[in-house]
Amino acid sequence: MKLCPDCAELVLKAARKCRYCGYEFRPPAPPPPAPAGLFNFSLRRSAPKLTMTETVAQLGIDLDPGEEPAGLWLARAYSVDGYVVLTDERLFFVTGLRRLPGSPPPRQHSLGELAGAEIQSRHFKSELVLHWHDSPDMTLGGMAPKDLRQLRSTLRATLERGRLT
């Protein structure tokens, strides 16, 4: 005889199910395989890293033929955390890594619309303010100062390359 762990009634030892409450006696799960050792664990390879183009595609951004990504940063814009993607032709703001059906499309601006970019500091926090010709300003915050400077310099370099060609 064995004791049912659910209702505490005695049932036959060979029983697969308690006749009083219906509890199913299942064989214990096999133990997980023993690790192959520390040496083999250290040799395990991590998943391959995505390229910038693969990451941009995963964000739901369709690049035009010949358009190349120039940078990707985490930032806060429009009171939402997301990703800033800079290409040689456009600037995007995406609110999630894997976009759900029905989520808003990435916001985008052509770099030809950019009137200026400046870093402003308020209350010990720095923000990059992008001024557009025909749209309201876009404020990018929540970034480390070095990332703000890197985004601004990449943006300027991309614009200069576009003017030279």
| Digit-coded pLDDT (tens) for 87-115 | 888 889 988 765 566 677 888 888 888 88
Question: How confident is the prediction for the chain on average, in pLDDT?
Answer: 81
Confidence of residue 49 (pLDDT cuts 50, 70, 90): confident
Contact 82, 106 (CB under 8 A): no
Tell me the mean pLDDT in the region 34-58. Answer: 71
Which range among 36-40, 77-81, 100-104, 105-109 shows the weakest confidence by mean pLDDT?
A: 36-40
Please check whether residue 91 is in contact with residue 109, taking contact to mean a CB–CB distance below 8 angstroms: yes
Q: Which amino acid is at 69?
A: P
pLDDT at 164: 42
Number of Cβ within 10 Å of residue 130's Cβ equals 22
| pTM over the 0.85 mark | no
Query: Whole-angstrom Cα distance, residue 137 to residue 50?
Result: 32
User: Which residues, including other chains, have CB under 8 Å from residue 22's CB and lie 6 or more apart?
Assistant: none
Q: Mean pLDDT throughout 59-72?
A: 86
Task: Parse the chain into domains and list their residue ranges.
Answer: 1-44, 52-164
For domain 52-164, say whether CATH 2.30.29.30 is its number.
yes
Handedness of CA 92, 97, 101, 104 (dihedral sign): negative
Residue 55: pLDDT band by 50, 70, 90 thresholds?
A: confident
Q: Over range 118-145, report the average pLDDT.
A: 86
In three-state form (DSSP H/G/I as H, E/B as E, the rest C), the secondary structure along the chain is CEECCCCCCEECCCCCECCCCCCECCCCCCCCCCCCCHHHHHCCCCCCCCCHHHHHHHCCCCCCCCCCEEEEEEEEECCEEEEEEEECCEEEEECCCCCCCCCCCCEEEEHHHEEEEEEEEECCEEEEEEEECCCCCEEEECCCHHHHHHHHHHHHHHHHHHHHC
| Mean pLDDT of all residues in 50-63 | 83
